[in-house]
Every structure is written in C-alpha cells, then in structure tokens.
Chain A
Amino acid sequence: MTAMSALARRVPLVLHFPERDGRNDGWGRFLELAADGARAATLTRLTKGDCLRVSFEAAGEKVELLRADVESVQRDLDGYFVAELRFLDEETRGRLAKAFLSLSASS
C-alpha cells in the first residue's frame, strides 16, 4: 500500500467535546487503533487531559460516543495534533477486542 492510500484508508473518527467546553465537534483519523485506546491525528486542537467522546466505525463495529481520555498530545511536522487516547468504557473495549480478534483470525 502506498503512503497516500494508507492515509486515505485510515479510519476517520468524530471527536465530541463536553457541552460545558463550548467547543465544536472535530474529526481526524486513527493512526493506530486498539481495543483499549488509539493514536489519532487531527487538525482539532487537543490538549493532554482532555476528556471527550469519540465515534467511529471499524472492523464492522459502529462505536458511538465512547468516552476517552487524551493521555498525550504532540504536534507532528505538518502541524497536526497526534494524540494518544485511552478508551474508558469497559463494555465497548470488550466489543472492540472481539471484533479485532475475529478480524485477525479471518485475515
């Protein structure tokens, strides 16, 4: 896979911020995605310690408003925010783990 198609095929996600923050929803793409967390690149400004919710669709699973903590954020060479996210919802983590397991078993 070429670098560009790799980027183009990366799973997009929506970033929802708590209402009290008064921030618009943002979006980005996962660079890495695991059942318990992910690394995502986005143009939306994120800071370490942000609590947000993410929605995405991966491995046949539709995940909506999953609670996540921003554990670290770095700016990459292009100015994107690259954030490490930790998913907080046990039930969804289990669901994702099963989905990824079946995906790897079938590939």
Chain B
Amino acid sequence: MALIALFARDARIREELRLSVEEFGHRVLYAAQLKDLMEIVLRERPAAVLAVEAASEDGAALLAELSQRAPLLPAVVAIKPRDAERAVELLRMGAFEVVGAPWTPENIDAALKKALRSQSTDFQVALPVPALRNPLVRFLGVLAAMLVVAAYWAYQKPRPPVQPPEPTEWALPYNHPAGLAFHGKKLWVSDWFSQTVYSHDSRTLAVEKAVHLPTEVPGALAFAADALWIASAPRSLVKHMLDDKLRVLARVDDAAPQTVGMAYDGLYLWTCDGKDGRLHKRILDDQLSVAASYRYPGSRPAALVFDGHSLWSLDAGNRELLEHDLADPGRVFRRVSLPEYRRGGWKPTGLAFDGNRFWTAAERLPKGEEPGRIFAHSVSIGPQ
C-alpha cells in the first residue's frame, strides 16, 4: 500500500479516481487546487501523484512545480480528450506516464504500479529504530541535545566535509525474496511469489534486470561453473544458462525435502535442507549426487555461501551466521550474531558474500505483507 496524492478539479472525477485507486489498496489524499496538492506533496510525502489535466495548462504547471519542489516524485497525468501529441508533450516535460481517456482501472493501476516499482528501486531506505519509552532513552535524549549544542558551536569553525555513512539496509520492490547470490558485481535475488529472478546494482540496489520463470517457484540461488542453479519448489534443482532469459539447461529431482540454501566452493555444490536440518555436499554430475551429508550444527538453516575459504550458513532460528569447517561442516569455527534481526519482524531467507561484506535477504513476518529487505553486514573474515 502506498500513499497517492490525487489532483483533480472536478469533484465527480476526483471521487471516481479516488475509489479506483483505493480499490488497488492505496491510500489517497486529494486536492482540487494545485496549491493544495503541493502542500500534500511537501507535508505528507506521497509515493506518487495522479493528476487530471482538465485544462491544457494544468499538466505543465503541475510538472514544473513538481520538478522544482519534488523532482524525484513520479507523476502520472490523466488526460481528456485522448491526444497522443499532448501525451508525448507531457512525457517530455517530465511526466512519468500519461493515461488517456477513458481512464480504465487497468491502465491507472498499471501506471501507478510502474511508478511505485521504479521508485522503490530508487531509494535506499533505512528503517527508523523505534524509541524505547524508558529513562535510559530520556537520558540519551538529553545527551543528544547536549551533543547538538556542542556540534553547533564546533560547526562555527571550518571543517572538512563529512562523508555520509554507507547504507546497510534497502527496501526491495517485491515482498518475497527467497534466495540471494553475487555474480558479476551484481546482487541476484529470487522472489518466490512473483516467480522472478532480479539482478540489482550492488551499490544502489536498483533493479537492472528481471527474468520471469513461469515454470518455477525459485528459492535458493548459486552460481556454479558458468551456470545459475536455482532450488525450485517442489523439489527440483534447476540449472540455467547465463543468458538474458536464463534458459533452462537441466532439471534435477531433489531428494532432499526442502533445499533452502546453496553454495559453490569451486568443486562441490553445497546445499542445506530446512526440514531435516542437514548439509549436503554434492558433485556437479547429472544427478547432483550427494557425496557426503552432515548434521546442521545450528538451529534452522536458511541459506549458504562460500567466502573463498569457508562455508557460511545463515541460521534463521538463532539469527546468526555460522562459519563452518569446509572439511567437516558439522564443526563451527565461529558464530556471528546478526543484530539487524534482533529487532524482530524479519525472516532471513538468503545469504551472499561480495568479497567484502555479507548480505542477507529478508521477508517481512508473518506473511511478507511488506516489501522485502536487503541487509549488508560487516563481518571480518579469515582466521580469528
């Protein structure tokens, strides 16, 4: 659900569009005057604007105003009568999309979805940490106020520019991330609900590519020997070519009840099973034969990754990373707690390593009713 600012001078049209947009599950704030719309935009920070161009100057005025005061806010302009030349003119002026009359719910929904999806791949969102109502928080508040005063005085002197901290948390434009892997400096995420594998820019997390897999319910991901392996429900491990369409090369029946994690160590494909709590070392042959199996030494495995030296697992039960001995993964070198998950509310589902940081994907509890999340974790690797 998103907040949409609706602008229409005509009360009847406004009401019709409001009902339409609310039917798609969004919240609507509406205005009959441009001035009132801009107040909503600045005060309420909607995710998108839907504006009706009743008079020919409305669209241009709106887009000019938005480009100055909220340049990243996508605006969908509904025009009447349907005029392709005018539509293209508005697109050139900066409209995200123009919907021509008759404004069908289907078209309005598609345009808003596109606008919201694009926006959510745009921004890196860090959740605010909710304040605790206890004396410690009040003390910290006073301390913070003192620091602000001190900072104000210190600011009088010239100082070198301060770099903003690198973000460690991003909202995804889909709700059900299930697998995560790094390849070619891109972060790859599978979403089981939309049956799609997404490739993200690893710096901005913007979606660069989405490949729909209509015959699979994709889960764990692993890149191995110039192919992408996807654990796909029910019970299959599917090998994909690394082309634009991720064409299927092979499909192997999975004897394990629920493969939730996969990692390739350069020789073996490791998989972990969420149901029977076992780690399997597999040979990359036609059947992905299991060479050895080990009891999982944690609570509930959710994902695996290989960092170049060790096999790591994501333990969804204890919300921690486990570093395993590659020769005997039942033996754990290290357990690293993940404070990001201590707040609750997120179910870790995927794990990746980019050569520097670990990344996890998470689904909102209980049922993924909000966009999924990616967390970056700084954990020092190598001998401790």
Write the residues of chain A forming the contact surface with B, with a CB cutoff of 8 angstroms: 2-5, 7-8, 12-16, 24-27, 29, 43, 77-80
Contacts and interface: CB of A to CB of B under 8 A. Distances in A.
Interface string B40-83: 00000000000000000000000000000000101000000010
11 contacts: A2-B204, A3-B207, A4-B72, A4-B118, A7-B118, A12-B92, A14-B85, A15-B84, A25-B84, A43-B110, A78-B117
Contacts of A8: 74, 94, 96
Q: For chain B, which range describes its interface: under 10, 10 to 19, 20 to 34, or 35 or more residues?
A: 20 to 34
Contacts, number: 68
A3 B88 contact: no
Contact of A24 (B82, B96, B206): B82
B150 to A, nearest CB: 36
Interface string B90-116: 011010111110000011011101100
Contacts of A24: 82, 84, 100
Contacts of A7: 96, 114, 118
B84 A14 contact: yes
B104 to A, nearest CB: 9
B107 A43 contact: yes
Nearest to B75: A8
The 8 A-B residue pairs with the shortest CB-CB distance in the complex, in nearest-first order:
A79-B110, A25-B84, A12-B91, A78-B113, A3-B206, A3-B121, A78-B114, A4-B118
B26 interface: no
Q: Which of B84, B97, B114, B194 has the most CB of A within 10 A?
A: B84
A77 B85 contact: no
Given A4-B96, A7-B114, A13-B88, 14 more contacts: A3-B118, A12-B88, A14-B84, A14-B88, A16-B84, A24-B100, A26-B100, A27-B87, A27-B91, A77-B117, A77-B194, A78-B117, A79-B113, A80-B110
B20 interface: no
A18 B114 CA distance: 29
A61 B32 CA distance: 40
B192 to A, nearest CB: 15
Interface in B312-339: none
Contacts of A3: 118, 121-122, 206-207
B293 interface: no
B119 to A, nearest CB: 6
B364 interface: no
Given A4-B119, A27-B84, A80 B114 contact: yes
Interface string B209-248: 0101000000000000000000000000000000000000
A90 B336 CA distance: 63
B181 to A, nearest CB: 21
A77 B213 CA distance: 12
B337 to A, nearest CB: 34
A8 B74 CA distance: 9
Interface in B183-220: 194, 196, 204, 206-207, 210, 212
A7 B99 CA distance: 16
Interface in B131-165: none
A83 B98 CA distance: 18
A14 B84 CA distance: 6
Nearest to B119: A4
A79 B109 contact: yes
A34 B109 CA distance: 30
Given A4-B74, A26-B84, A27-B88, A77 B210 contact: yes
Nearest to B85: A14
